[in-house]
Amino acid sequence: MSRTVMLTVFAALLLLAGCSTKGSTSAAGSPSAPPSGTVSDGDGTRLPQFPSPPATPPLPANLNQAQQFVAAVFNDAQNEWSKVFQQAGVPYTPARLVLFSSAVTTGCGAQSSEVGPFYCPADHTVYLDTLFFEEMQRRFGVGDGFAPAYVVAHELGHHVQTVTGVTTQVATLRERFPTQSNTLSVLTELQADCYAGVWAYSTYRRGLLQPGDLDQALTAAAVVGDDFIQKSATGTVQPELWTHGSSAQRQHWLTVGYESGKPASCNTFAR
């Protein structure tokens, strides 16, 4: 599969490598309810509102400009989450960041760059190929500015789910209710979007958010909505095949996290 046909497989660009789930949801509004034995938010309900530390971590050395930016976002988001977990008295295992090109071997198996940014819970690592953002910019005009920051924060949100126990609960329910795999995937992805919004709130509190940044993130969230991807690729929308949620749903949960600044507001599994 070449990058020239990336639009038709854009749904894969934010999938969890080796551990992504599939979901079903309505075309607008909230996702359909998860199966009985619903996922609890684990330790996520104990996490307080994000603090406002004075500065971001230093940039890594020996990286090009795009790599420096995504690494800085990753380090900043991780620093913020570490503080929140510490404040809540909840143990936090730091995630790792790997920047790669072409292909990479992970704890979730070998992956090519065509899968896009992803998180592997087996090795607690976010994997990023910055050429992905160049492709987003070329095709949709949303590959620079705060759009990549949203993508990175979304992937780190999956790590938060692993630490809080949500990932394990979802995997268990997928085995018990395989027909509900799509629903569980959508709820999982929307929670990661919400966590990205919570981190974005912290950048606002620290005076790091620039005018238009949140709009860029919301545009990126719309571009990776399942309905947008399906309609762009085939001209039709099939909600039963969704794995990440509609554009409206992704924008909604990103906004929920941003407006609240509280991880506890991100329990997409609550009914």
Q: What is the pLDDT of residue 114?
A: 82
Q: Which two tokens stand for residue 26?
A: 């309505």
Question: How sure is the predictor about 43, in pLDDT bands with cuts at 50, 70 and 90?
Answer: low
Q: Which residue has the tokens 């979730």?
A: 108
Can you give the pLDDT at residue 65? 84
Q: Return d(Cα 91, Cα 82) in angstroms, integer.
A: 9
Report whether pLDDT(251) > 80.
yes
Range list of H helices, 115-237: 131-140, 147-164, 166-176, 181-205, 213-223, 226-234
**Reported confidence tier of residue 186, pLDDT bands at 50, 70, 90:** very high
Q: Are 36 and 266 in contact (CB under 8 A)?
A: no
Mean pLDDT of the region 147-158: 97
pLDDT at 19 over 60: no
**Residue where the block lists tokens 């569980």:** 184
Task: Kindly state the helix (H) or strand (E) to which residue 178 belongs, with its residue range.
Answer: none
Strand partners, 109: 106
In this prediction, residue 261 has a pLDDT band, given cuts at 50, 70 and 90, of very high
Identity (one letter) of the amino acid at 96? R
Going by pLDDT thresholds of 50, 70 and 90, the confidence category of residue 164 is: very high
With beta carbons less than 8 A apart as the criterion, state whether 146 and 152 touch: no
Q: How far apart are the first and last CA of the chain?
A: 40
pTM here is 0.80
Among 172, 190, 168, 182, CA closest to 246: 190
CA distances from 212 to 140, 170, 204 (A): 16, 35, 12
Range 151-173 average pLDDT:
97
* Alpha carbon separation from 252 to 148, 188, 220, 259, 264 (Å, rounded): 18, 14, 13, 10, 16
